[in-house]
Amino acid sequence: MAALRTPICDTLGIRHPIFGFSHEPDVVVAIAEAGGFPVLGLGRDAPGQIPAIVEAVERRLDGRPYGIDLMLPAKVPQQADPHGLRAALPPEHVAFVEGLRARFAVKPPGAPSFFTTHARSEALFQAQIDAVLQSNARAVVTAIGLRASLIAQARNRGKLTMSLVGTVRHARKALDMGVDVLVAQGYDAGGHTGPIGTLSLLPQIVEAAQGKPVLAAGGIATGAQVLGCIGAGAQGAWLGTLWMAARENHTPPALMRRLIDSGSDDTVISRAHSGKPCRVVRSAWIDAWNEPQAPAPLGMPYQQALTGDVFASIHEHGDAALIYEAAGQSVFGITRETTVAAQMEQLVSEMQAAWRRLGAFVTA
């Protein structure tokens, strides 16, 4: 089988219809070098740091195309800072988290991070948008939220626009704003996700798109799944969780062990991370929020103000019992530490093998 190329591969100038989301610049560069389309997640980065991050990535990409993803949920404050939010937290929630800190002997984080120094707000989002629009990214992607002004500005700058959608209603809203590419993100996906499974959602979004390109996202870890999604009408597959197994992701050893040991049923949708439904790989910290005495998690951005220091700490200190991360049901594909190049080679090989299997079933 020759390399499988869909129209969006030609649009973007990539070899394979494989799209890889990652917060880690080293993963982004490696995906581009392997012929896929990388998407750099900057939703966890301070606006003032984005220009330097982008400059360093673009220098290493040397003209290869890439995208940038921002998380832009609605119903956040116009302005917010962690100190002010913490002062407004309900006492019962503060007491519960203090109890968990003592119970699990959580150490304070030793260094500042986005989760301890920033709060999601419209002002933060606008500053991130302004920084991203100055980049040379070929595509701008929006996740859990749309901004008509961002779509218009990105298109005016010649950038392709993409939006992750979890329902037909969201897809239609994105199309009305002029989004170029829809990413049908199923319930299987890691991170903030919707209520419909990928296999059920994809054909509905393909129909709603009326000829515009659609990518499939959620629970995808093999080349056979990529081929299956293309057979169902997608022009490519969007993978995120799988890359955490790559050395280029610099995954903390405790988290790597958790991912390797976990199956699809070890991921759960919880509001304990951000305040919005988010699929994560389970840990003792996530399980504690499901105990009978646990209060309901707060909404965004208050939950981050309540627990952001804990998330930062367990990653900084590699807490084997508590560590977790956004992860999809595709975690079944993580069986060992590997590299992005090896992962891409395996995905393409599996696509070819799946194509041959299909060929054996074709009759005259």
pTM listed for this prediction: 0.96
Contact between 305 and 82 under an 8 Å Cβ cutoff? The reply is: yes
Q: Is residue 319 very low, low, confident or very high in pLDDT (cuts 50, 70, 90)?
A: very high
| 2-16 confidence digits (pLDDT tens) | 679 999 999 999 999
Provide the angle, in degrees to the nearest 10, between the axes of the packed helices 223-231 and 340-360. Answer: 50
pLDDT at residue 333 greater than cutoff 70? yes
Contact between 237 and 252 under an 8 Å Cβ cutoff? The reply is: no
Give the residue from 287, 283, 297 showing the smallest Cα distance to 331.
283
Tell me the β-bridge partners of 186: none
Mean pLDDT of 247-269: 98
pLDDT at position 1: 52
The CATH architecture that domain 7-80+119-246 belongs to is Alpha-Beta Barrel (3.20)
Strands (E), the chain: 18-22, 37-41, 67-71, 139-143, 160-165, 181-185, 191-192, 214-217, 236-239, 267-270, 278-281
pLDDT at position 2: 64
Domain ranges for the chain, please list them. 7-80+119-246
